[in-house]
Structure 1
Amino acid sequence: MHSSRLCALLIDCHVSDVDQAARFWADALGREIDSDHPGTRGNYRMLATPPDEPIVQIQRVEHESRVHIDIETDDIPAEVARLEGLGAHVVDRLERWVVMQAPTGQRFCVVRVQRPGFPKNATRWD
């Protein structure tokens, strides 16, 4: 058995200036840029996250701009297997997460637990 839940909304920006992109999205969403968050580094900028809401992260990427979600889980291999059973497939296995593609074409990531309070609002899978 394992649990999983929606973790984050990632805004992938094919831009040269991730800070400018983060400022736009912070203003658009009414959130501050969280400069002190450990996830704000390199090509990543975290926006302040109100309690019980998914994380919003801006990331500079080399592929086309798009939005993707992260699903957090206490058992990455079990969650990947569950999602493969639903028709998704693995695109890439990285050190700390797995990139997958839904049968509908969208890419998403399966990540270890990121947000406090897990497993609150998570689904328990048998």
Structure 2
Amino acid sequence: MHRSRFSTLLIDVPQDEASAAASFWSSALGVPARPVPGEEQFTNINGAFPDLVMAVQSIDGAPRFHIDIETDDLDAETTRLTGLGAVEIGRWLDCRTLRAPGGHLLCVIPVHSEQETFERLATVWE
């Protein structure tokens, strides 16, 4: 048994456009943009969606959106999602990057939200 939940919407933008994108989304949604200390490629835009993190991520590729699924068991959640048709295409730190059917990216990450939020919103998988 493990638990997981959709936790994060990431707006991936080329590095030279990340600051402008963060400013745009912050202003468009009426919430502050805050750089993530120690993770300079991320700028959080929290408050736009209850119980969901929204962030701009600076990348070396083309613009896109991707989601993060947080879990209390990385191996079990990765196995569950690959069993549904996703393909693991990479790893970075504790993050597993998968490509879902249709081509969209998603990451499986350890629990990042507050424990109460995770426990309240996570789905239990047998």
Structure 2 length as normaliser, TM-score? 0.89
**Residue equivalent to 1:43:** 41
Aligned Cα root-mean-square deviation (Å): 1.8
| Residue 2, structure 1, aligned to residue 2, structure 2 | yes
Residue deviations 1:2-45 (CA, integer Å, cap 9, x gap): 0000110000011414222210111122211134x547x42211
CA gap 1:15/1:50 in 2 versus in 1, 3 angstroms: closer
What percentage of aligned pairs have identical amino acids? Answer: 37
Unaligned runs of 5+ in 2: none
Change (3 A) 1:105 1:73: same
SS of residue matched to 1:120: helix
Paired residues, what number?
A: 124
Indicate conservation of the 8 Å contact 1:100/1:108, yes or no.
yes
Unaligned 5+ segments in structure 1 are none
CA contact (8 A) 2:69 2:108 kept: yes
Aligned residue in 2 for 1:89: 87
Which residues in structure 2 correspond to 1:1-126 (within 5 Å)?
A: 1-35=1-35, 37-38=36-37, 41-49=39-47, 52-116=50-114, 117=116, 118-126=118-126
When you count helix as a share of all residues, which structure comes out higher?
2
CA distance in 2, matches of 1:42, 1:94: 15
What amino acid does structure 2 have at the position aligned with 1:33?
A: A
Q: Distance in 2 between matches of 1:51 and 1:20?
A: 21
Paired with 1:38 and 1:15, the residues of 2 have a C-alpha distance of 17
Distance 2:42 2:49 in 1: 21
Distance (Å, rounded) in 2 between the aligned partners of 1:67 and 1:56: 11
